[in-house]
Amino acid sequence: MDAPLTSSLARHISMRQLQVFEASARLSSITRAAEELFLTQPTVSMQIKKLEGSVGLPLFEQVGKRISLTDAGEALYRAAREILEMLGRLEMEVAELKGLKTGQLRLAVVTTAKYFAPRILGKFCKDYPGIDASLEVTNRERLLERMTKNLDDLYIVGRPPESPEYEFEPYMPNPLVTVAPSTHPLAKEHNIPLSRIADEPFIIREKGSGTRKALETHFETHKLKLNIKMELGSNEAIKQAILGGLGIAVLSQHTLGQGIDQTGLTILDVKGFPIQWQWHVGHMRGKRLSVVARTFLEFLRSQGNAK
Ligand code: PGA
């Protein structure tokens, strides 16, 4: 027989209090938590007061207008997320036993994946209409931060983080190409040496971008220096800057869509290009995936064609 699990907190705190506390901590605001949960602000404050009473320590401290977690608050936040996640999983498992695929899918992707992720998600939601999906688009550095905080179910990145703390698998090719205006003098040339384009002014993505990292690594490997003309935080802005004659760039081919011919842009035939990158999907190692997340992963595997 299993031993009884005893906890005095289990007798004194309610699920609703945990939910209210989790939202306040995640949003760093009582007001925003109240809005999210459709409660009044005094109700949220009162629930948190009761929770503090049960824990026996303050959970928040006021810093100016914002609230931040105390050490006890941090510990409770981690526990609250685990408990609520577990309940979410339970809900989905029960739904699966009932033969339904319902629940939430929280997907976070790097900026460049926005060119295909919504389409894949759309297709998935059509196959599983009971699933509620959300998509967070951010750059690689911020995505890794979100992963450490366990804010989403699955993550799509170009280059997966190297540490063994993460578990990623390739699922689709991501060719990185050199993009220039179609009027560029090199537009008609073939097998252009990398040293030749190293003289060109480059427009590159912001620090923290996976595309930028790939480009820098490629140049370092060939012991060449990039001639950086401008740094821009979005693939779309870079394409406009190329059209404006400010320089050339290395971008994921996915950013160019289907018909590049009508855009005024062209792909230069540079030796060693495209850089053969892969899209990877994954999460922190040891994360227990929900039924919905596992279903989505299977769906990606069936759609992708990793090399
Ligand atoms: P980025 O990421 O959109 O941050 O450049 C692409 C990648 O991870 O390769």
**What does the angle CA 90 – CA 108 – CA 118 come to, to the nearest 5 degrees?**
105
Give the separation between CA 43 and CA 240, rounded to whole angstroms: 50
Ligand 1 centroid to 264 CA: how many Å? 24
pLDDT of residue 17: 96
- Mean pLDDT of all residues in 167-183: 95
pLDDT value of residue 168: 96
66-88 pLDDT tens trace? 789 999 999 999 999 999 998 98
Residue 109 CA to ligand 1 center (angstroms) comes to: 9
Q: Which two tokens stand for residue 270?
A: 């540079």
Q: Whose CA is nearest to atom 2 of ligand 1?
A: 210
If you measure from the C-alpha of residue 170 to the centroid of ligand 1, how many angstroms do you get, rounded to a whole number? 14
* CB of 160 sitting under 6 A from ligand 1: no
Rg, the chain, Cα only = 24
Summarize pLDDT for 237-272 with one digit per residue, the tens: 999 999 999 999 999 999 998 778 788 999 999 999
**Considering only 37-51, 92-106, 130-144, which range has the smallest mean pLDDT?**
92-106
Mean pLDDT, rounded, of the chain? 92
pLDDT at 302: 85
> Which atom of ligand 1 lies nearest, measured to the CA of 139?
4
